[in-house]
Structure 1
Amino acid sequence: MAKRYRRLNLFMAKPLGDDQTFADLLADAPMHSFPMENNLGIDGVLYVKRSEEKRPVWGSLLDELAGVVIPYLLNRSSSAVLLLRVDGDIFAFTFGYGRHLIDQSLFIQDFGLRTALNTLDEKSLRSVDLHTLEDQPVQKKSQAARDSEVGVFGIDNLRDVLRAVTGVPKRGVGLTQIAGGDAMFSFGTEMEAADFPELARRIRGHYANDDYKTSFAWVDNVRRVKDDVSINALNAQLVQAVSAHSPDIMITLPEIGAWDTILGFSFTRNKDGVRPVIDSADYIDTIPNLAHLTVETLKRDRLFVHDVDGHTTEHSVYRCIYFEIVDGDKTKIIFDGKWYEVDATFVGRIAETLNLIQVSTLTFPAVEMWDEGGKARIESEGDYNIRAAAAHGYFLLDKKLVKTDRATSSIELCDLLTPAKQLVHVKHRKGGSAGLSHLFAQGGVAAEIMLGDRAFRKKARTVLRGVDPAAGDVLPLDNFRSADFEIVFLILGEDSATLKHNLPFFSKVNLSKAFENLTQRGFRVSIAGAPTTPRLFP
């Protein structure tokens, strides 16, 4: 048979157990099996799902418009998968919707992405799919109009997790139109039926090498864990840690909270037990029979957020848990209900950057807590800023917004400003990594606009003079020198001595990013903590 151009999808299976067969790799769906033609020399089985014809859901609407039942409106879905063994490894070539016929958790999860990166020409990318680790994780797809280098896509190698990539292969690869994401590798090639084993063997060779580290080494920084087998194993370790009252279990808000309106938090089985901060023990202590705890319980139970107006919002406790597991040279982290694998080298690099960040020499009061009507309360950010400004002679800029054309909305220059040109940005520690990530981003954006936008500085000086005539002189209109200013990130509810160590990992990543960006622009950067203290006179 003559060779023809084909577009193929390939998966590589994890090793099977001694008593497992090809059929154990299939999803639970009715299908027919066909042995291989003897003269092809293929050790494999073809599985085909019977195709069904269905009218599309919008067919009845068109019938109504035409006044008759319109013929020919039929969808047909065809699915097939070829499972074959090559040199002891098992591969799956899928056709049509065939990827839905296999249990993808039993296949190597980075096979598609890594093989694509090893075979792609890094200067000829067409598109990238990214998962960005923001305060609320964002998924995005970037597509170029022509073959482009990786820098064109604006990838942040500290926060972007690469999910999929397409592009043109390197010379000598012998494939066309490559795409890879997670377990699936897609490509075009001239081939005939007998070529399947050799194709699988050749592509396995591309997967096995480390060519991608020349141009795409950053993809190993953070990877999303997606296969069910690994996730189930990690969830089992999480449940064990919760059951053992591990001090490393952290429960946080999975999204930015409006701290000035939050009254407190409570959990399932003690919804009325509102406390001003999130304490993991408040949840764990209410779980009946910890010995029989399951991950389904964590997903079903709720963290309740109570605001000053009497409204309550809720989140799954599982989504709110932050927990790290050290596994050899990898660190596994659950964040916003998703598991990630972080390379040890990347963890070390972030730690080195954090070591460069100094603790601020400024003085800040402790955050006050008190009991009111039998319920614990904590000082709001707004009240704290007012008290800190009055106690130490800082200018109060909290909620003093400055308009700018370089952002989608007006921004705060900072929360507190000192006569010595220290811009202090303030956020509560309890409440989670979401708010902290927002804090670091907020400080970076404000400083960058202040540095590069004279019109913004002019408007900011007007706002500053409205707060205090002396404040306007702190920010020069012209001859602005970033080295004269220090950006201070003040985190309420945590002591300065333990602050950097106790930050969630992805908050450490965002702090490192902010530090690098700001110091490259000449600013000094420091952090500070303000521990809690009982209020003497409620």
Structure 2
Amino acid sequence: MARTYRRLNLFMAKPLVDGQAFGDLLTDAPVDNYPMADNSGIDGVLYVKQSTETRPSWGSVLDDVTGRVIPNLANRSSSAVLLLRVDGDVFAFTFGYGRFLIEQSLFVQDFGLRTALNTLDEKSLRSVDLHTLEDQPVQKKSQAARDSEVGVFGIDILRDVLRAVTGVPKRGVGLTQIAGGDATFSFSTEMEAADFPELARRIKGYYANDDYKTSFSWVDNVRKVKDDASIDALNVQLVRAVSARNPGIMVTLPEIGAWDTILGFSFTRNKDGVRPVIQTADYIDTIPDLANLTVDGLKRDRLFVHDVDSNITEHSVYRCIYFEIADGDKTKIIFDGKWYEVDATFISRIAATLDLVQISTLSFPAVEVWDEEGKSKIESEGDYNIRAAAAHGYFLLDKKLVKTNRTTSSIELCDLLTPAKEMVHVKHRKGGSAGLSHLFAQGGVAAEIMLGDKAFRKKARTVLRGVDPTARDLVPLDNLRSADYEIVFLILGEGSATLKQNLPFFSKVNLSKAFENLTQRGFRVSIAGAPTTPRAIP
């Protein structure tokens, strides 16, 4: 047999259950199967999709412009899968579009990524695909012009989930052009047909070791759950939790809202029952038959967002649910309609950082709630800031924007500024993880720009003088010392005593990041809460 240079894609199946055959690992696409040659030494079967030739959709427009049927326009895709058994494991080598022939949920979901990380030279990466856990999750691909270390790609190990990576293998691996993402491991090598079993055996050995933990240990912090069977099992636990009114179930907005314009929220089957904050119980109380609740029901039901101009937007309740499930040494979290697996060590590290965040000693009034024309209302952030400033002698900087060339738009220095240089950033708890992530980012960006940009400080001093002449010198033009300032994150709608422990996990991650970034620059950082109280009737 001749040795040739080939590009291959490899998958490893999960252990087969009793009675499960090779064909059970495929989708329902029509295929022809072929046994191995007697002298191949391969225990396997080749499956080839029964494909037909089709005319491309754009062919008709060419016919129209020429006034005739254009010949020789045809698409034909080829798909094949070689399934083989090696040392009790089943592997799939795919060819053409063969990856679409296998039932992905039946294959090991981290096989490709982990094998790539175990075989790549960490100083010779070519590209990385990331999923960033923000209030609106972002997917991005970064590609370097030449072989690069992981630090070149600007990865945030607290919020970035690594999805795929390509690069140059370590010396001695014996493969080239390595790429791995989720279940797929891709590589190039010189080989002959009889080498398939030994290739699978060797690559399984790369997958099974822990070499990646030397340079890529952070990839285990948070991983998206991809496999359908696991997601289905987690959804069953979620439905049970909702049906049992588990207090850990949180319904929250999955994206940032314009809180000063939001009138309130309601749910399917009680659309007119508008409430000023999102209460999980308000949703559960609308479900007519909790015992027969399904995940499809959670996906069909809607959270309605009502604004002051009578506009209504809506989100699937399933996408709005935040819930954590302890699973051995892992924690599974649903967030924005996606399930994530979080490593216990990572959770402990975040908790240790949060323990360092002090509760602010500043005084803040409670947030007022009241009923008006049969509807429950809560004080807006803007009205609250005005009242808090007046009550305690703080300078009101809410909506007082300062221009800077370091961001795409003007920013607030803070919402409230005290004579003792405490910079208070305020956000409603009702905004959930999305609003809180924005709060922590806002505080971090404003402080960093103030510290490093003299032009910004000059413009900030002008804004401060317009608020109160005595406030101007709270931000000196020169020789600003970060240690003189405390960044305070004030969250409306919950008391300080329970605030940190009740934050959604990804809000805890973002608070931890903000705390570490700001304290490394010399700022003090604290957090505070303001519970609700009924408005006094005049």
TM interval, shorter chain, is over 0.9
Look up the match of 1:126. Answer: 126
How far does residue 359 in structure 1 lie from its aligned partner after superposition?
0.4
Query: How many Å separate the matches in 2 of 1:420 and 1:297?
Result: 52
Query: How many Å separate the matches in 2 of 1:327 and 1:258?
Result: 36
1:53-132 → structure 2 map (5 Å cutoff)? 53-132=53-132
Look up the match of 1:295. Answer: 295
Find out whether 1:475 has 2:475 as its counterpart: yes
Look up the match of 1:226. Answer: 226
How far does residue 114 in structure 1 lie from its aligned partner after superposition?
0.1
Query: How many Å separate the matches in 2 of 1:342 and 1:466?
Result: 48
Query: How many Å separate the matches in 2 of 1:159 and 1:431?
Result: 20
1:435-474 → structure 2 map (5 Å cutoff)? 435-474=435-474
1:416-427 → structure 2 map (5 Å cutoff)? 416-427=416-427
- What amino acid is the match of 2:419? P
Look up the match of 1:280. Answer: 280
Look up the match of 2:46. Answer: 46
Query: How many Å separate the matches in 2 of 1:255 and 1:442?
Result: 16
Query: How many Å separate the matches in 2 of 1:432 and 1:255?
Result: 9
Look up the match of 1:401. Answer: 401
How far does residue 69 in structure 1 lie from its aligned partner after superposition?
2.3
SS at match of 2:425: strand
Look up the match of 1:533. Answer: 533
1:75-474 → structure 2 map (5 Å cutoff)? 75-474=75-474
How far does residue 268 in structure 1 lie from its aligned partner after superposition?
0.3
Query: How many Å separate the matches in 2 of 1:467 and 1:523?
Result: 24
Query: How many Å separate the matches in 1 of 2:58 and 2:332?
Result: 45
The 10-residue stretch of structure 1 (96-105 or 65-74) with the greater mean CA deviation from structure 2: 65-74
- What amino acid is the match of 1:355? D
SS at match of 2:500: helix
Q: Deviations over 1:488-510 (max 9, x none)?
A: 00000011010000000000000
Query: How many Å separate the matches in 2 of 1:495 and 1:62?
Result: 68
SS at match of 1:382: helix
Query: How many Å separate the matches in 2 of 1:438 and 1:74?
Result: 51
Query: How many Å separate the matches in 2 of 1:23 and 1:293?
Result: 35
Q: Deviations over 1:266-317 (max 9, x none)?
A: 0000000000000001011111111111000000000000000000000000
How far does residue 70 in structure 1 lie from its aligned partner after superposition?
2.1
Q: Deviations over 1:332-375 (max 9, x none)?
A: 00000000000000000000000000000100000000010111
How far does residue 71 in structure 1 lie from its aligned partner after superposition?
2.2
Query: How many Å separate the matches in 1 of 2:464 and 2:297?
Result: 51
User: After the TM superposition, which segments of 4 or more aligned residues of structure 1 sit over 3 Å from their partners?
Assistant: none
Query: How many Å separate the matches in 1 of 2:111 and 2:66?
Result: 49
Give ranges in structure 1 of 5+ residues lacking alignment. none
Calculate the TM-score normalised by the size of structure 1. Answer: 0.99
Query: How many Å separate the matches in 2 of 1:289 and 1:274?
Result: 22
Calculate the TM-score normalised by the size of structure 2. Answer: 0.99
Query: How many Å separate the matches in 1 of 2:63 and 2:392?
Result: 75
How far does residue 18 in structure 1 lie from its aligned partner after superposition?
1.0
Look up the match of 2:507. Answer: 507
Query: How many Å separate the matches in 2 of 1:474 and 1:276?
Result: 36
Query: How many Å separate the matches in 1 of 2:502 and 2:182?
Result: 32
Q: What is the Cα-based RMSD across aligned positions, in Å?
A: 0.7
